Amino acid sequence: MTLTTHATIGALIGAATGNPFLAFGAGLLSHFLVDIIPHGDRELYENHKRKQKHRRAYAFVTIDGIVAVMVIALMTGFQPVQYLNASIAMGVIGSILPDLIIGIHEAFHIKWLRWFHRLHFFFHNMISNRWGDVPLRYALFAQAVFVIVAQRWF
Ligand SMILES: [Zn+2]
C-alpha cells in the first residue's frame, strides 16, 4: 500500500488504542496484513528492480511520502487529541516502519536486513503472486477513497 494508507491506518490504530506501545505493535502488524491486499505497485517495483523506469518509481515514492506527511498533519492538526499524540505518533511510526527498512535495505544492500525484505514481500506478494496484481490507478483511487472516508473514524 501507499505510505499514505499505512500512515492513516497507523493514526487510526493510535487513536483507538491510546497506548503508544500497543499502537506501535499493532501498527507494525497492520502493515504486513494490509500489504497482503493486491495494490497495484508490483510492476512499479519490478521495473525498479530491473533498473527500468526509475524516475517513475522515485517520483511515486516521493509524492507518496509528501502526501502521507500532509494527510497525517491534517488529521492530527485539527483534532483536540493532545492526550493521544504519543499513541498516534507510535501507530504511524509502526505502520510505516517496514517500508523504511525496505528502503534502507534497497539503498545500502545491508545483508542482515535480507530476512526482513523476504518477510515483507512474503506478505506483499501473497495474493498477487497467485492471482496477479490490480491496475495501479484503481488501487490508488480505492486508497484515496479509504483515506478520505477514514477521516470520519478518526
Ligand atoms: Zn510495505
- Quote the number of domains for the chain: 1
**Centroid of ligand 1 to alpha carbon of 33 (angstroms):** 10
- Range 37-55 average pLDDT: 86
pLDDT at 77: 86
Count Cβ atoms within 10 A of the Cβ of residue 50 and give its class: 0-12 exposed, 13-18 middle, 19 or more buried: exposed
**115 CA to middle of ligand 1, Å?**
14
Instruction: Give 145 Cα–ligand 1 centroid separation in angstroms.
Output: 19
Instruction: Tell how far the Cα of 83 is from the centroid of ligand 1, in angstroms.
Output: 29
What is the domain range of residue 58? Answer: 3-150
Distance CA 13, CA 32 (A): 14
| DSSP-based three-state secondary structure for 150 | helix
pLDDT of 62 > 80? The answer is yes
Q: What is the pLDDT of residue 78?
A: 83
Q: Any idea which residue has 488529521 for its cell?
A: 75
Find the mean pLDDT for residues 23-28.
98
For residue 71, what pLDDT is reported? 96
Report, as an integer, the average pLDDT of 31-58: 89
Q: What is the pLDDT of residue 140?
A: 96
Ligand 1 centroid to residue 97 C-alpha, Å? 9
Taking all residues of the chain, what is their mean pLDDT, rounded to a whole number? 93
* pLDDT on residue 82: 61
Q: How large is the average pLDDT for residues 134-152? A: 95
Give the Å distance between the CA of 69 and the centre of ligand 1: 17
Give CA angle at 113 (135, 61), nearest 5°. 35
Cα 147 to averaged position of ligand 1 atoms, centre (Å): 17
pLDDT tens for 77-86 read 887 766 568 9
CA 61 – CA 107 distance, rounded (Å): 13
Q: What is the mean pLDDT of residues 58-65?
A: 93
- Digit-coded pLDDT (tens) for 106-141: 999 999 999 999 999 999 999 999 999 999 999 999
Q: CA angle, 146 as apex, 154 and 6 as ends, to 5°? A: 75
Residues with CB in 5 Å of ion ligand 1: 35, 99
Ligand 1: centre distance to CA 142 (Å): 17
Going from the Cα of 96 to the center of ligand 1, the distance in angstroms, rounded, reads: 7
What is the whole-number distance in angstroms between the Cα of residue 80 and the centre of ligand 1?
Answer: 30
- For 81, the grid coordinates are 487529541
Is 73's pLDDT higher than 80? yes
Which residues lie below 8 Å from residue 70, measured CB to CB, with a gap of 6+? none
Q: pTM higher than 0.85 for the full model?
A: yes
In angstroms, what is the span from residue 40 Cα to ligand 1's centroid? 12
Rounded Cα distance between 23 and 120, Å, is 19
